[in-house]
Amino acid sequence: MAIQFGVAAALVSVGVRATAFLGVPAVEFAISVLWLVVLMNSFNFLDNMDGLSSGIALIASLLFAVIMLTSLSEPRWLVAGVLLVLAGSLMGFLCHNWPPARIFMGDTGSYFIGLVLASMVVLGTFYEHGGAAQHGRHVILAPLCVLAVPLYDFASVLLIRLIERRSPFKPDKSHFSHRLVDLGLKPKHAVLTVHLATLTTGLGALLLYRVHDWSGAWLVIGLVLCVLAIVAILESVGRASGGEGEKGSEGVPPSASPKGVVGN
C-alpha cells in the first residue's frame, strides 16, 4: 500500500489532479491520491474470475473514450487516444483471458489497468464551465456511473472483511461474482452478468450529458442506484446460499472450486 500511495502521490504532484470545484489544493491533492489508489485496488479485487477485470476495464475505457470524443465542446484527443489504445489492448487480451483462460492478468496487470483508467478519468474534463457544450455540474458524476459496479464491489468486500475482522487484502470469495456462482450460475455467466451491470450503469453516464438539470440527473442516478440495489440483493441471497464460502478460498482444494474462479 505504501508503494501505491507513493506512485499516486508522484502522479498527482506532476499534474494528474482533480479539481472537483474545491479550490483547495491540499484537499484536491488528497482526493486525487485516494482516487488513484482506490481504482488500482478495485480492479485488482475484480481479478477474481477469468475475464472479469479485463472485461469491465474494456467497457469503462470505451465509455470514457466516447464521452471524451462526443460529449464535450472540444474532443479530448489525447485522453481518448490513450483510452482507445487501452481498449484495443484489453480486447486482444480478453480473447485469451475469457474462460477457460489461457493467459492471466495477475496483480501487475490489474494494478496497471486501474492506474491508467484512474489517471485518464482525472485528466479528462467531464464538466466545462462556460464551454460551448453547456452541461450542468451533474455530469461530474459520469465517472462514478461508469465505475459504479467495481467501486461497489470493492467497498462491499472491504466492509465484509473488516466486519469479520479479517485482513482487507486477504483473498476470499466474498465478491459479487462469487455470489452469482453460489446462486447456480456458471463462472462465465457470472462474469457476463457483472459486465452487463457495468454497461448499464455506464450508459447512465452518457445519459447525464443528455439531461440539462438535476431533475433529469436524478432519474439517471436512480437508475444506477436500482442496478446497485439488484446487485446487493443478489449478493445477499448468494451469501446465504454459499454458506461458509466467504470464509476464504485458501482452505478449499482446487478440485472443489469451479474452473476459472479464484479469490481476490
**Of the listed ranges 18-27, 76-85, 127-136, the one predicted with least confidence:** 127-136
Q: Are 99 and 158 in contact (CB under 8 A)?
A: no
How much is the pLDDT for 260?
Answer: 60
CA atoms within 13 A on the CB side of 133: 19
Q: What Cα–Cα distance (Å) separates residue 206 from each residue in 54, 144, 169, 217, 263?
A: 21, 12, 33, 11, 33
Rounded to 5 degrees, φ, ψ at 19 are: -90, -45
Sequence-separated (6 or more) residues with CB below 8 Å from residue 92: none
In a domain, 32, yes or no: yes
Tell me the CB-side half-sphere exposure of residue 176, using CA atoms within 13 A.
30
Please say whether the beta carbons of 182 and 238 come within 8 A. yes
Mean pLDDT of 210-234: 92
| Alpha carbons 209 and 137: distance in angstroms, whole number | 10
Asked whether residue 171 is domain-assigned, the answer is yes
Tell me how many degrees the CA angle 164-189-195 measures, rounded to the nearest 5.
75
174 pLDDT above the threshold of 60: yes
Mean pLDDT of the 75-98 span: 94
pLDDT averaged over every residue in the chain: 85
Q: How confident is the model at residue 135 (pLDDT cuts 50, 70, 90)?
A: low
Cis peptide before 100 (omega within 30 of 0): yes
What distance in Å separates the CA atoms of residue 9 and residue 2, rounded to the nearest whole number? 10
Region class of 51: left (phi > 0), else alpha (psi between -120 and 50), else beta: left
Average pLDDT over every residue of 66-82? 89
For 36-45, the pLDDT digits (tens) are 999 999 999 9
Q: In the predicted model, what is the mean pLDDT of residues 212-219?
A: 88
pLDDT at 58: 97
Q: Is residue 255 part of a domain?
A: no
Enclosing domain of residue 213: 2-250
Residue 259 is assigned to a structural domain of this protein: no
- Alpha carbon distance 29, 109 (integer Å): 25
What are the cell numbers at 51? 475475464
Express as a percent the part of the chain with pLDDT over 90.
51
What pLDDT is recorded for position 238?
A: 82
Query: Contact, 133 vs 73, CB < 8 A?
Result: yes
Res. 261: pLDDT tops 50: yes
Residue 86 in domain: yes
Number of domains in the chain: 1
149 located within any domain: yes
d(CA 212, CA 135): 6
Residue pLDDT, tens place only, 140-165: 889 999 999 999 999 999 998 898 88
Beta bridge partners of 49: 261
* Three cell numbers, residue 98: 475469457
Residue 147 resides in a domain: yes
Domain presence at residue 220: yes
Percentage of the chain modeled with pLDDT above 70: 86
Is 147:120 a contact under the CB 8 Å cutoff?
A: no
Task: Find the mean pLDDT for residues 61-77.
Answer: 90
Residue 225 to residue 221: CA distance in whole angstroms: 6
- Res. 61 pLDDT band, cuts 50 70 90: very high
Per-residue pLDDT at 128 exceeds 60? no
Cα 15-16-21 angle, rounded to 5 deg? 95
